[in-house]
Amino acid sequence: MAPRTMFEKVWADHAIGDDLLYIDLHLVHEVTSPQAFEGLRLAGRPLRRPDRTLATADHNVPTGPGQPDELSRAQLAALKRNCEQFGVPLYALGHARQGIVHVIGPELGVTQPGMTIVCGDSHTSTHGALGALAFGIGTSEVEHVLATQTLTQRRPKTMLISYQGALGIGCTAKDLILGTIAQIGTDGAGGHVVEYAGEAIRALSMEARMTVANMSIEAGAKAGMIAPDETTFAYLEGRPGVPPDFAAAVQRWRTLASDPDAGYDHTIVVDVPALAPQVSWGTNPGQVVPITGSVPEPRDDSDQRALAYMDLRAGTPMQEIAVDRVFLGSCTNGRIEDLRAAAEVVRGRRVAATVSAMVVPGSAHVKAEAEREGLDEVFRSAGFDWRGAGCSMCLGMNPDILAPGERCASTSNRNFEGRQGRGGRTHLLSPAMAAAAAVTGRLTDVRELVGS
Amino acid sequence: MKPVRVISGNVAALDRADVDTDQIIPKQFLKRIERSGFGEYLFWDWFREPGFPLNRIEFHGAPILAAGRNFGSGSSREHAPWALQDYGYEAIVAPSFSDIFRSNCTKIGLLPVELPEDAVRELLDRAPDAATIDLERLIVTLPSGREVAFEIEADARERLLNGWDEIALTEQRIVEIERYEAERERDGPNTLTV
Ligand code: SF4
């Protein structure tokens, strides 16, 4: 047989004819599903595979005290009603396993190598970190999967992003992926399934790999995948969702990696040692510079508009930019290792008087784990707000939003205009960098803090 | 879904690249559980900015929206195409679209048309001058009269031309799906017993 990429193997395993793809796992949340369930009801269709469907409430849940508004309550109630009616297991608010859909999949071990996974959410690419083919879909497609457990799909193209060399001190998976998007652009991987490979990827922990795969969509990719290896198997072992015969599953998963001579439609090389910690300056995730750099000269109308929206002037050193808020959380950087990395910087320091900072764990499980380790105390005593699990200020559907004009150092994935609140200004960065910004009150090269 | 064949009429111009779905329909409107009525929230913040191009009176009522590259990037929210369609657009023309947005459009009968930069430039520069999009012939006639070909997946075109329900089409292949489940399905995680 001709050599095949990991993507090609998973695709072939799930193709029905040349245009249907079988879906192994369908993750559901409150915001993009109500119209799909309603569609099933109107057509009198059953849900084909409740045993391959899992729901949680994350986008629109409160993470602090106080009740959700009436519309939000109605949306959460609709999810509950729909899951009951169609027999879908639901991890609702208050459940010990509730959390951001892309955090709980891997955490439960229901995300496994070689699977096809979809969700009505663009960051579904996160699950590709374990060697699954995982991508976001719209509500019509959610309904299609609920009804048929398949999707009509045309085979995407393939792209290899090859990371050469190792990450420097103070640089993380977030810097790797932000640097990549800055290099190839927000549509640089459009129409492609990306495979991330190379020394720097192999060296990443499982959770750090999720940060990389998570932001595939920010480069326009259909999905992002990382070949499963010992790191993956060790992460999965013992989790509730894994196959009972784990050893046999590992044997099967070992065959998934791309064959040595497999070809890709495109290949991109990233020079990893050249990367400093990264931070975004503009209003799309490709507008990124090293923290040691300055706000760049605008090259086009988009850049001009971004500078005006962000209230920045070309030439200003990034480290002189003061922030009002710090948000630590999201499906990109809301896992336990992210909280540990931030706590490491925060320990023994205090949040600057001019800054309001919050930590929102990615899941109830992450929150409990952090509290077991005493991280909540580290954050609280430094002046951080310690919250419940959810998407929170990553998209600001709940009351956690920026006020107009406020500037935020955020570990999330999108710096679009108004993403974190109308008129709010977002700078994307890693958890350690967010922690550094919280204690100094401005964008800061974390290497200066941890070095001292 | 209503069949789509020929869309003809004025062009509204939004000469911006990377228009993301957060701009098309901001998050505060995603709390609604209905599928209709999103048009009044379209470009909510941008419509409130002085000088926003789509506020220009000559663009009102245009069935075709022309925009810059990477239109519809970001979130997978289908609320974005719902809002564009509910507002009155029948087709969006751009040099490129994000994958999810493009696919979402074809599911609801909003036609995404990818044209070369120079053709989109003509539409943007001459807007509101009218254009015609013919899905049967896969041809756009620009205001100058020049005809430009475009491509769309054959199955999506067929569905759009006939207004077919995609789920009903797949249901006709239920035997194939059952055979897959019987022969090739792996022991995946059972979400009911985790
Ligand atoms: S954390 Fe943000 S990006 Fe992730 S699923 Fe929630 S809203 Fe989407």
**Ligand 1 atom nearest residue A413's Cα:** 3
Predicted local confidence at residue A228, as pLDDT: 98
Predicted local confidence at residue A452, as pLDDT: 47
Nearest to A223 by CA among A344, A111, A327: A111
- Is B191 at the interface with chain A, CB within 8 A? yes
CB A283 within 8 A of CB A417: yes
Task: Give, for ligand 1, the residue of A29, A104, A331 to mutate: max count of ligand atoms closer than 8 Å to Cβ.
Answer: A331
pLDDT-derived band at B167 (thresholds 50, 70, 90) equals: very high
Q: Is A21 helix (H, G, I), strand (E, B) or coil?
A: strand
CA A330 vs CA A90, A126, A243, A412, B75: distances in Å: 20, 12, 28, 5, 14
- Is A84 at the interface with chain B, CB within 8 A? no
CB A221 within 8 A of CB A159: yes
Q: Provide DSSP, A174-189.
A: HHHHHHHHHHH-TTTT
Which parts of chain A have pLDDT scores under 50? 452
Question: What's the burial of B132, exposed, middle or buried (CB within 10 Å: 0-12/13-18/19+)?
Answer: middle
CB contact under 8 A, A186 and B33: no
- Is B51 at the interface with chain A, CB within 8 A? no
ipTM for the predicted complex: 0.96
Looking at the complex, report in whole angstroms how far the Cα of residue B93 sits from the nearest Cα belonging to chain A.
17
Residues of chain A in contact with residue B153, where contact means CB-CB under 8 angstroms, are 154
Task: Give, for ligand 1, the residue of A122, A387, A413, A420 to mutate: max count of ligand atoms closer than 8 Å to Cβ.
Answer: A413
pLDDT in tens, A295-310: 999 999 999 999 999 9
pLDDT in tens, B23-32: 999 999 999 9
CA A191 vs CA A15, A37, A159, B109: distances in Å: 18, 29, 10, 21
CB A428 within 8 A of CB A443: no
Q: How far is the CA of A214 from the centre of ligand 1 (A)?
A: 10
Looking at the complex, report in whole angstroms how far the Cα of residue B180 sits from the nearest Cα belonging to chain A.
7
Predicted local confidence at residue A207, as pLDDT: 98
All residues at 6 or more sequence positions from A408 whose CB lies less than 8 Å from its CB, including other chains: A323, A324, A325, A326, A327, A393, A402, A420, A424, A425, A426, A427
The residue of chain A with its CA nearest to that of B68 is: A302
- Is B109 at the interface with chain A, CB within 8 A? no
pLDDT at B177 over 60: yes
Nearest to A55 by CA among A16, A9, A13, A86: A86
Q: How far is the CA of A261 from the centre of ligand 1 (A)?
A: 36
Q: Provide DSSP, A30-87.
A: TTTSHHHHHHHHHHTPPPS-GGGEEEE--TT---SSS---HHHHHHHHHHHHHHHHHT
Q: Provide DSSP, A265-298.
A: SEEEEEEGGGPPPEEE-SSSTT-EEETTSBPPPP
Predicted local confidence at residue B83, as pLDDT: 98
CB of A328 sitting under 6 A from ligand 1: no
Angle between helices A375-382 and A336-346 (to 10 degrees): 40
Looking at the complex, report in whole angstroms how far the Cα of residue A169 sits from the nearest Cα belonging to chain B.
31
Largest CA distance in chain A: 65
- pTM, two decimals, is 0.97
